[in-house]
Amino acid sequence: MSRRRRRLPYSSQGKRTLWQRASTAGWLLVGLAIGLGVGLYYSWVVDPVVYTNAGPSRLSETHKAEYIFLVSQSYAADGDWARAQQRLAALEDPNLAGTVNALLESYVRNLAPPEALRHLAALAQQLGAEGGAVAVFAPTAAALPTPTLAAPLFLPTPEPLPTVTAVPPLTPTATLPPPTTGAMVYRLLNQERLCEQEGASPGGPLIEVIVQDAALVDVPGTAVLVRWDGGQDRFFTGFKPDEGLGYGDFTMSPDVSYAVMLADGSPEVSGLRVEKCDDGRDAGWRLVFQKLSDARQP
């Protein structure tokens, strides 16, 4: 007696086929996950890639900026331009002059110490960079710098170099250095109230500062500190060459008393307030500082 095979309904066969397919796909995914895990374990733990003798060109943009700054400090200390060129060449930057100039400008905006700005400006100038910051802080072509003791290291978090991801800048309201208590480098040559109509600032009365050397020649790139109750700021001479290379200014606010001095060392001029001229207009102040002939350059 023959036995007839019972055939499952079509719907049951379809369900079984789908289940088999799902099981196959699941096992493939499990296999891939295991293989990926084993591969990662081998590459990260068993035999990781180790970089040796990696050059400065592999640094992040933030660390490249710090590297350039350190090269400028070294060049300022030893005056070895050949060595500085060799170190900068390791960055493999086709627009090195522009990169250094952009870094200098970001340091100016972030209120870096004047000495750091001068060192970066000297480096940018040697590379052929041109710009307002270079003209102010490295105004003459130049001779190799005299070796000096290194100043305390200043490594701000720079703004991004060109075409790189933004890096958080310094907080512009960082605490300014306390007034100099040692020997004065500059003396107050003249102080006068400004009531001239011509050239009046649309933003309000100004504290104008003019810095000159012992021969009454304008001195650009000099840091001027401004303090008032609850605030402080800093600006540099030389950024308005039409007014003179030793010129810088600060906009005053009504009912605020200001104190002004030079960061390199000068008397502090206090009690500077907005006053009225004879015709009722608000008046600012002009301060002229002159370098003492026997003072040493810091």
pLDDT above 70 (res 18): no
**Tens-digit pLDDT profile for residues 125-164:** 999 888 778 878 875 544 444 444 344 445 555 555 544 3
Is pLDDT larger for residue 22 or for residue 85?
85
Spatial separation of the C-alpha atoms in residues 188 and 211, rounded to whole Å? 9
One-letter amino acid of 89: A
Q: What is the pLDDT of residue 201?
A: 63
Q: What is the SS3 assignment for the chain? A: CCCCCCCCCHHHHHHHHHHHHHHHHHHHHHHHHHHHHHHHHHHHHHCCCCCCCCCHHHCCHHHHHHHHHHHHHHHHHHCCHHHHHHHHHCCCCCCHHHHHHHHHHHHHHCCCCHHHHHHHHHHHHHCCCCCHHHHHHCCCCCCCCCCCCCCCCCCCCCCCCCCCCCCCCCCCCCCCCCCCCCCCCEEEEEEEEECCCCCCCCCCCEEEEEEECCCCCECCCCEEEEEECCEEEEEECCCCHHHCCCEEEEECCCCCCEEEEECCCCCCEEEECCEECCCCCEEEEEEEEEECCCCCCC
223 belongs to a structural domain: yes
pLDDT above 90 (res 257): yes
State the average pLDDT over residues 229-244: 90
One-letter amino acid of 123: L
Query: CB-based contacts of 208: which residues, under 8 Å, 6+ apart?
Result: 194, 247, 248, 249, 284, 285, 286, 287
Looking at the fold, whether 102 and 194 belong to one and the same domain comes out as no
Looking at the fold, whether 167 and 196 belong to one and the same domain comes out as no
Residue showing tokens 């972030």 = 110
Q: What is the pLDDT of residue 296?
A: 44
Q: Which of 126, 147, 171 finishes a domain?
A: 171
Q: What is the pLDDT of residue 130?
A: 81
Q: What is the pLDDT of residue 38?
A: 80
Query: CB-based contacts of 33: which residues, under 8 Å, 6+ apart?
Result: none
Q: What is the pLDDT of residue 227?
A: 95
State the average pLDDT over residues 40-58: 71
165 belongs to a structural domain: yes
State the average pLDDT over residues 169-197: 64
State the average pLDDT over residues 156-182: 45
Looking at the fold, whether 103 and 197 belong to one and the same domain comes out as no
Looking at the fold, whether 195 and 137 belong to one and the same domain comes out as no
pLDDT above 60 (res 112): yes
Point out the least confidently predicted range of 104-118, 205-219, 274-288: 104-118
37 belongs to a structural domain: no
296 belongs to a structural domain: no
Is pLDDT larger for residue 169 or for residue 216?
216
42 belongs to a structural domain: no
202 belongs to a structural domain: yes
Q: Which of 171, 196, 222 finishes a domain?
A: 171
Q: What is the pLDDT of residue 297?
A: 45
State the average pLDDT over residues 264-274: 93
Q: What is the pLDDT of residue 39?
A: 78
Looking at the fold, whether 63 and 167 belong to one and the same domain comes out as yes
pLDDT above 60 (res 290): yes
What is the pTM for the complete model shown? 0.55
- Model confidence at 165, pLDDT cuts 50, 70, 90, reads very low
Looking at the fold, whether 196 and 276 belong to one and the same domain comes out as yes
Q: Which of 113, 138, 171 finishes a domain?
A: 171
Looking at the fold, whether 215 and 156 belong to one and the same domain comes out as no
Query: Please, are residues 211 and 222 in contact by the beta-carbon 8 Å criterion?
Result: yes
Number of domains in the chain: 2
Is pLDDT larger for residue 114 or for residue 95?
95
Query: Please, are residues 134 and 154 in contact by the beta-carbon 8 Å criterion?
Result: no
Looking at the fold, whether 163 and 195 belong to one and the same domain comes out as no
Looking at the fold, whether 94 and 193 belong to one and the same domain comes out as no
Looking at the fold, whether 103 and 155 belong to one and the same domain comes out as yes
CA atoms within 13 A of residue 72's CA, in its CB half-sphere: 29
Looking at the fold, whether 93 and 205 belong to one and the same domain comes out as no
Average model confidence (pLDDT) across the chain: 77
60 belongs to a structural domain: yes
179 belongs to a structural domain: no
Q: 114 is in which domain, residue-wise?
A: 51-171
Residue 237 is part of a domain; what is its CATH number?
Answer: 2.60.40.1120
Looking at the fold, whether 160 and 228 belong to one and the same domain comes out as no
- Model confidence at 287, pLDDT cuts 50, 70, 90, reads very high
Q: What is the pLDDT of residue 196?
A: 66
